[in-house]
Structure 1
Amino acid sequence: MADKSTNNIELKVLVDKGSNKVIFIEPDNDFVDVLFSFMTIPMGTIIRLASKHSDPMVIGCMNNLYESVENIDEQEFRFPKFKDMLLRPANAADFLCNCLKLKLDNAEPRSYFMCSKLCKFLSYNYGTYCPCSYSSTTYGLSSSTMVEKKRLSVASVFVKRRTGFIVADDLQVIPPSASTDSVLFTKLGVVDVHATEELAINIGTAEICNLLLSCLVSKTPLTETLLNPEQEPKLRSTILNQGILNEYQMSGDSMDDEEGKISLNLVVSKSKKMVCYAEVGEDFVNLLYSFLTLPLGFIVKNMKDCSLKGCINHLYKTILDLDGQYMISNHHKEMLVNPKLVPAFCYQNSLIGIEETSYYYEGCKLITDSSSEFNKLKVLGSEDVNAQGFLKGPASFVVTDTLIVRPMSRIFELHVLKDLNVPVTDIENQIVHVGKKEALHLLLASFLCDSALTNTFFGDIKKPKQEQRWIGYTY
């Protein structure tokens, strides 16, 4: 485990000696804060962390989306910075996550600058031209202080100090008043106290990263992370265990309101009842790429009653049901159960329905929660992505069922058909439209399984196809 000389957290672990499994742990609040912070992490960051494993984790189709961004020519983006925004997406709660004792992401803290006139504009870049100026002078912007950014020696990040939580192997976080000891121990599987032993285990960033990845695919992530430290999580598996939605819409169905929807041409195998690939414009690819900027908590929130191989939904439900007396504030809880996007780092036309966070200037400090809209700041440059998306247009792309994205190429389309063993005589075209319902369905399918287009537009999502792993072609 982590060396005691390094920055780490010590856990008191109760283990069942017979099965060699964690029954529960008694952590301090530093660990609970880190655990809760999982909900704020963007999917692009999780994919990047997972790629560092010798056997990289496969998260539905998200890996393919991430690799497609890596492989696409920078010239396809409206600004070069947009590619990096997708590969290293910003966390809207980073000013708090930077205060965690163990940080998963080593990204540099974001800087904030305001005009010397203290007008209602905010920038992430020093020397940005402020709209309040009536001359051609570029005003120097002075650094502002985030009120939440300073870590106090007696303060926590999300939960109040000295609460006394225990955490079960499936990441249910139980406050001290949850039940009587006897009921609690029985619920957690403590039958014979003589069959248990207490361990003190130190963990560092590597173990926290493994815990995050394990909870996506395992019901016992603490056991796998703490008691089997030499083994990387067995992550090469589809997360989906049961379907998300069973409604779908193909051409010919009633389309009462097509305004604002995205059109795409599906190339479908008639015999296999599956989508082989789609021919799309940049608007659909903007939607797909925006999935990488979404925080994990937003996706889990929308999974409803899915039956998952992992237990990340247990952690989310714990936070959702947790009495507010254990949180630093209602705003801190809201940041976890309804995480938002960073202004100027998101694509608002994504049909997904996620909001941007807001910044306010009060008492010479920059904050994210205020009762007064008068002090709300406008982030300069936010219109760059919000209105038009990441990619230049007009442009045409091919998107496979597994969400590999390539610029339009008939040769690539033939490679896809060949790989799927679908003859050209077996395909037909179907025009579909993506609105809010389809966009959300597509998001969940891209996270949960490896046939996102089929499960969104064509197939019965309760019966997912077997995994299809294939190597994309780069031209």
Structure 2
Amino acid sequence: MAETKVSLKLLIDKKGHRVLFAEADKKFVDFIFSILTLPVGTVTRLLQKKNMAGCLGSLYKSIENLSDIYIQPDQDKMSLLKPKVAISGAKVPLLLPSVEQSCTDRKIYRCGSYNCQFVANDSRANCPSCGKPMNIEQFYVEYAPSNIINASSSSEGGYVKGVITYMVMDDLEVKPMSTISSITLLTKFNVRDLGSIEEKVVDLGIDEVLSLLEVSLKSITVLTDVFLRNDTDEE
């Protein structure tokens, strides 16, 4: 997959040492929306080395260390340790490292009886009606808006439209950007000295993406913690 460059324009209150909000395009908004699609096992694996809060890290390690002799023969530990993220109709490029996507193509089977109304997800199953093997493959169609007749579709993919600039708050709340909303927020944050406001463009690499994921699980000042944390340490 080709690397997707994602950047943000931060509006920073230098006196308060905080990010008031960020101007973002659809790439960043699609990314933070896609965080909600990640399985817990994937999040735990990605954040193990970052001292993940809570007990999920210990649970993950216990599964890693558990011998295969204790696992059911029809189960695989990797389905828990490295669960695959289903590819949704949104088709959002995942910016997180080592996240595998699973194909939505799903196989179903039926038996050879013409009037059989049963289907199975495994070709080893027997029909509950006639007892015949259910080994005749059928075609499964995944639901997506593009499959609906007369539904509007977009070639750009993702969750949000790309012709709009979005405002992302420090707690990752997302809303359409507008001049009025920006002025309203400055008033809300009690910013009276416009000279204390600074614009800063930041690019997201793997470190920043992982930090965003980590901090979003335990903080309501995500953008400040991720992008201004080093500045605080240096003071």
TM-score, normalized by the shorter chain, greater than 0.5: yes
- Deviation string 1:53-110 (CA, Å, 9 cap, x unpaired) is 3xx323211111111111112121223634222212355xx22287223343521323
Question: For the structure 1 residues 33 and 7, does the alpha-carbon distance in structure 2 shift closer, same or farther, using more than 3 Å as the test?
Answer: closer
CA deviations on 1:296-334 (whole Å, 9 max, x unpaired) are xxxxxxxxxxxxxxxxxxxxxxxxxxxxxxxxxxxxxxx
Whole-angstrom CA distance in 1 between matches of 2:108 and 2:168: 46
What aligned pairs does 1:75-474 form with structure 2 within 5 A after superposition? 75-79=69-73, 81-91=75-85, 94-96=86-88, 99-104=91-96, 106-115=99-108, 121=119, 123=121, 128-129=123-124, 131=126, 135-136=132-133, 138-140=135-137, 142=139, 144=141, 147=144, 152-157=154-159, 159-176=160-177, 180-228=181-229
For residues 164-222 of structure 1, the C-alpha deviation after alignment (integer angstroms, 9 at most, x for no partner) is: 43112222323458x75433222245332221222222214442221010122333221
Structure-2 change in CA distance of 1:172 and 1:147 (3 Å): closer
* Counterpart Cα distance in 1 of 2:167 and 2:181: 13
The answer to whether structure 1 residue 45 and structure 2 residue 46 are counterparts is no
Output one character per residue of 1:336-355: Cα deviation in whole Å (capped at 9) or x when no partner.
xxxxxxxxxxxxxxxxxxxx
Work out whether residues 166 and 176 of structure 2, in 8 Å CA contact, stay in contact via their aligned partners in 1: yes
For structure 1, list consecutive stretches of 5 or more residues without a partner in the other structure: 232-475
Maintained 8 Å contact 2:165/2:176: yes
Distance 2:89 2:22 in 1: 22
Deviation at 1:49, TM superposition (A): 0.4
Tell me the CA shift for residue 156 of structure 1: 2.8
The one of 47, 71, 84 aligned to 2:65: 71
CA contact 2:11–2:199 (8 Å) conserved in 1: yes
Partners of 2:222 and 2:17 lie apart in 1 by: 13
Task: Report the TM-score when normalising by structure 2.
Answer: 0.72
Aligned counterpart in structure 2 of residue 7 of structure 1, from 4, 21, 24: 4
Structure 1 distance, partners of 2:168, 2:142, is 34
Quickly say closer, same or farther: Cα 1:191–1:41, change in 2 above 3 A.
farther
Q: Would you say the 8 A contact 1:8–1:102 is kept in 2?
A: no
Query: Could you say if the C-alpha distance between residues 58 and 72 of structure 1 is closer, same or farther in structure 2, counting changes exceeding 3 Å?
Result: same
- Note if contact 1:114-1:141 (Cα within 8 Å) is conserved in structure 2: yes
Q: 1:206 to 1:122 in 2, by over 3 A?
A: farther
Structure 2: which 5+ residue stretches go unaligned? Answer: 112-116, 148-152
Aligned to 1:430: none
Q: Does the C-alpha gap of structure 1 residues 7 and 160 become closer, same or farther in structure 2, counting only changes over 3 Å?
A: closer
Residue 40 of structure 1 deviates from its aligned partner by 2.8
Whether 1:62 aligns to 2:59 is no
Task: Give the whole-Å Cα distance in 1 for the aligned partners of 2:62 and 2:198.
Answer: 48
CA distance in 2: counterparts of 1:149 and 1:69, whole angstroms: 39
Q: Distance in 1 between matches of 2:53 and 2:120?
A: 35
Which deviates more, 71-80 or 207-216? 71-80
Root-mean-square deviation over aligned CA pairs: 3.8
* Shift in CA distance, 152/203, structure 1 to aligned 2, threshold 3 Å: farther
Question: Which whole-Å CA distance do the structure 1 matches of 2:95 and 2:60 have between them?
Answer: 22
Q: Is the 8 A contact 1:44 1:89 kept in 2?
A: yes
CA distance in 2, matches of 1:82, 1:13: 44
Identity %: 28
